[in-house]
Structure 1
Amino acid sequence: MNFIIRQENEKDYKFSESAVKKAFENEEYSDKSEHNLVSRLRKSNLFVPELSLVAEVDKEIVGHIMFTKLIIKSGEDTYSSLALAPVSILPKYQNKGIGSKLIIEGLKIAKEMGFKSVIVLGHDKYYSKFGFKSASVWGIKAPFDVPDEAFMAVELEDGSLEKISGTVSYSKEFFC
């Protein structure tokens, strides 16, 4: 299957939000409002336009990924990172490698932009393929109760998380 990955633009918003909504319609662990999260994050100061990507098949948006800024707090110290959320692929295009390509391209762009790490809450068997490990390896914790193996991080620069520990601080947009 031929598909392209490119940066999302404003004209794509309603189409990509529709793809996000459809991607999560039948997901067991979803509140079915991920499309609203995407919309809120775009309007926030955490939004990084270069890290909001879409996948297209025959000029139809079939997938979307977004990375936004977040911080890790350790006492008075704060460290910058990125949140990967959500990754959305229309059901009929799932398991065809589109999500993997979006993640790989997003991580590559994030690294090129100088970001040092990414945090994700998701399936450990899936995200480990991209180098993600339990964030607890570095002493990084979620701000809420979540299985250790599902809360993960990846270093975009070797050793970038070595001296960082603390609790991830998600913005209010994640909790509306």
Structure 2
Amino acid sequence: MIQIRPETNADLAAITSINQAAFGRIDEADSVNTLRQASTTISLVAELDAQIVGHILFSPVQYDQAPSRIKIWGLGPLAVLPSHQRTGIGAALVKAGLEACRQAAIQALVVLGDPAYYQRFGFRPAASWHLRCHYPVPAEVFMAMELVVGTLVDLDGTISYHPAFDGV
């Protein structure tokens, strides 16, 4: 049975390995380590048979027009060991992460990713709220979700991720 829980210091090497294996490079793992040191994060792991097999990270993003009272965070990276992909572990991490974000009073989330994957959790094109990503990405892969209904209404601006993502 999959157990989703907050990361601990004992998990850090496994998290690095999972991100490197899932993405085939070290960049995402490096961004996770940088974000962990630079800001508050929500970082969860999936454990199966006493082995860490997945990881998800949420961290603050900047919105160039948002009042400081609005808490918008980014989801990513989400990583599952290749041998355990397509088994529901990623979905379990996303669902647990969304709940952890609600508990932390985060009002909205953004993600860069596959629309077919993330829309099933309630993400939709960020352009629906007139939000743009500061990275030059196709509009359909930049999505948002309100955790508090109405948070993104009447906003119009650009979301900037932490510089740790610049090399990813």
Structure-1-length-normalised TM-score: 0.89
Matched, 1:10 2:9: yes
What is aligned with 1:43? 37
After superposition, the C-alpha distances for 1:5-45 in whole angstroms (9 at most, x for unaligned) are: 000011110111111111111xxxxx651111111111102
**CA RMSD, Structure 1 to Structure 2 (Å):** 1.4
What is aligned with 2:116? 125
Unaligned runs of 5+ in 1: 26-30
Structure 1 segment 6-155 matched on structure 2, within 5 A: 6-25=5-24, 32-45=26-39, 47-48=40-41, 51-74=42-65, 77=67, 79-155=70-146
Counterpart of 1:22, as a letter, is A
Separation in 1, partners of 2:63, 2:144: 11
Per the TM alignment, residue 77 of structure 1 is displaced from its structure 2 partner at its CA by 4.9
Per the TM alignment, residue 57 of structure 1 is displaced from its structure 2 partner at its CA by 0.9
Larger strand proportion of the pair: 1
The alignment-based identity, stated in percent, is: 36
Whether the 8 Å CA contact 1:72–1:165 is kept in 2: the answer is no
What is aligned with 1:28? none
Residue correspondences, number: 166
Structure-2-length-normalised TM-score: 0.94
Whether the 8 Å CA contact 1:72–1:80 is kept in 2: the answer is no
After superposition, the C-alpha distances for 1:56-103 in whole angstroms (9 at most, x for unaligned) are: 1111110000000112112x8554310101000001100011100100
What secondary structure sits across from 2:106 in the alignment?
coil
What secondary structure sits across from 1:114 in the alignment?
coil
Residue 163 of structure 2, aligned match among 164, 167, 172: 172
Per the TM alignment, residue 144 of structure 1 is displaced from its structure 2 partner at its CA by 2.0
Per the TM alignment, residue 107 of structure 1 is displaced from its structure 2 partner at its CA by 0.5
Separation in 2, partners of 1:171, 1:148: 19
Counterpart of 1:116, as a letter, is Q
